[in-house]
Structure 1
Amino acid sequence: MTDVHDAQVARAAHPAHDRPFRFGVCLFTPRGRKEWVERVRLAEELGYDVVSVSDHLGMPAPLPTLVLASEATEQVRIGTLVLNTTFYQPAVLARDIDTIHRYSGGRVEVGLGAGYDRKQFDAAGLPWVGAADRVAHLEETVRRLKGRDTGVEQSAEAGQLSPPQIMIAGRGDRLLGLAASQADIIAFTGTARVRDGEGLRLGDLAEVTDRVRLVHELLGERIHEVELNIPIHRVLLPGTGSTVVSDVWQNTLDLKPEELSELPSLLMGTPEECAEQLRTRHKRFGITYFSVLEPEMMAFSKVIEALR
């Protein structure tokens, strides 16, 4: 762990290889058009760099929602956190993403995953396939997106746009290997290894450190080209009791509050203290891109203010 820490301190101290912080928020609560537009505009006003939508049955459909987000905003990037690519035919998905990217003026940042919850596949009436097949499907989707092989004739305006940035999210060795070779952004889940198809379970600090170490080894010199992301699940500002801290993940981990506070997915303290925690995680792990879920949007905006 020390070697990773020292390497990241050296990297963060080198201006040519440093990145500014970026902050994203994932909006997913079903609401009417007017309320959703107000929400996404608020996220832009609060200083978020990226507004994303998720991809789960029972929540708003991600691609139509991205179109609405692009029409409601001016500068903020729009994205997915993340698409379950196994649900989609790669060429068709690449066409749809490319179209939204063009219509938004080149603001799409597409987050991709291989799918992890067997219950979602069952609910959708889709066959559950093994992890190797799901990652292979993800790889084909990435190839289509990178090649912009959509079968649609490109306009002169579209040809001037850079392709959508690609985020790949996950924790498995095979998936992180694909991310290290192909992604613009690698998103760590902060979760532990579980039996395939059983959903997610929060990982401890050793788990996160192991995944970061693997990615750095796989990236080599490409580390300077790739952005690293992790979700912030909870932001606990003053006034939050210690009982809440202990139950952040319904005792998923048998950790004391002070041990929970070391996890990259939790911020605790004043906005200024939380800002310093993010700086420390940047130095330790090389992570500069942090995303929060919708319930944490207002609290985390105070941390953004403290950093800028």
Structure 2
Amino acid sequence: MRAFRFGVSLLSVDDRFVAKCRRLEELGYDVVTVPDHLGAPAPFPALAAAAVATSRLHVGPMVLNVPFYNPVLLARDIESTSAVAGGRFELGVGAGHMKAEFDDAGLPWWPARKRIAYLESTLDELRKRLDPLPPLLIAGHSDGVLSLAAEQADTIGFAGLKQAPGRPPGSFHLAGVDELAERVGFVRERGVDPEFNLLVQRVVVAENPRPELQDWLSRIPDAPQTVDDLLATPQVLAGTVPQIVDTLLERRERFGFSYVTVFEPFLEDFAPVARALSGR
């Protein structure tokens, strides 16, 4: 069983970015990541800055929206950022899932099968141009992406988000515990043993997390879940620090999640959990 490691996804770049990266290192986190969405930081400049600002943290995108990129130019960005990071760069990739961003950028929105094929061909090109390819994380939820991840990834990322039926593209719901268990089983059936990453959508450290979860749920359009559903969902961590520690131990045992990423707003609240599980 793999030891835990913990990361934070930083959602913005401002004059406090370097200080935030150093704070993550001070708190004992292992990885700093940035997303790849329009309106979020440009991944490679932010990751280079994070690498220079720290001495121990690994850095990487969580995850690159690969159909945004020309593979040859992408290889150049990866090579330069990896060199700056001194071997601490981890390459996280996905097939893209936000149609509105492609529309905004004037890029074609391909069907999922074509986006996944482009992700695969891009990885082929990166392997030709990079020696070696950095440690590879592939994140997704569909059969197509998870099949590719089982074949090629060192780490497989599970955000547990799925397109909401009947809603515009880019409207998501959290997959329930049974569905996420099925997705993990889909990978395991392929006879591979990669590291599993869980992208946690919400952290509530409280004796009684129900009111805050109910408030969050009330702001999600047409949410199918109840608070009880959220409490059972691996992408939500709620309770006291000892309770969340026990929850993560159970979820590692059941699902294999040993690499856990939380979003920036939760980094301070989650830090005692990360410290309690460090090295375990």
Using the size of structure 1 for normalisation, the TM-score is: 0.84
Partner of 1:28: 11
Gaps of 5+ in 1: 1-17, 151-158
Cα distance per residue 1:86-138 (max 9 Å; x no partner) = 00011211221022112211111111011101100011111111111111111
Q: Is the 8 A contact 2:138 2:149 kept in 1?
A: yes
Q: Is the 8 A contact 1:171 1:191 kept in 2?
A: yes
Partner of 1:143: 124
What is the SS of the residue equivalent to 1:235? strand
Partner of 1:215: 187
Task: Pick the aligned partner of 1:59 from 33, 37, 40.
Answer: 40
Partner of 2:261: 291
Cα distance per residue 1:204-224 (max 9 Å; x no partner) = 112111111101112x0x21x
Measured in 2, the distance between the counterparts of 1:299 and 1:292 equals: 10
Q: Is the 8 A contact 2:21 2:54 kept in 1?
A: yes
Measured in 2, the distance between the counterparts of 1:138 and 1:127 equals: 15
Measured in 1, the distance between the counterparts of 2:229 and 2:57 equals: 35
- The question of 1:121 aligning with 2:90 is answered no
Following superposition, which runs of at least 4 residues in structure 1 exceed 6 angstroms of deviation? Answer: none
Q: Is the 8 A contact 2:176 2:229 kept in 1?
A: no
Paired amino acid for 1:245:
L
Cα distance per residue 1:152-192 (max 9 Å; x no partner) = xxxxxxx7xx5311110110101110000001110012123
Paired amino acid for 2:151:
S
Paired amino acid for 2:212:
V
C-alpha displacement at 1:239, in angstroms? 5.5
Measured in 1, the distance between the counterparts of 2:183 and 2:197 equals: 12
C-alpha displacement at 1:66, in angstroms? 0.9
How many residues are aligned here? 274
C-alpha displacement at 1:306, in angstroms? 2.1
Partner of 1:153: none
Gaps of 5+ in 2: none
- Between Structure 1 and Structure 2, whose CA radius of gyration is higher? 1
Cα distance per residue 1:253-296 (max 9 Å; x no partner) = 44332332111011111111101100000010111111001001
Using the size of structure 2 for normalisation, the TM-score is: 0.92
What is the SS of the residue equivalent to 1:42? helix
Partner of 1:73: 54
Measured in 2, the distance between the counterparts of 1:84 and 1:205 equals: 26
User: What aligned pairs does 1:242-257 form with structure 2 within 5 A after superposition?
Assistant: 242-249=210-217, 250-251=219-220, 253-257=223-227
Q: Is the 8 A contact 1:191 1:207 kept in 2?
A: no
Paired amino acid for 1:19:
R
Cα distance per residue 1:13-55 (max 9 Å; x no partner) = xxxxx110011100012312xx110001101111111100111
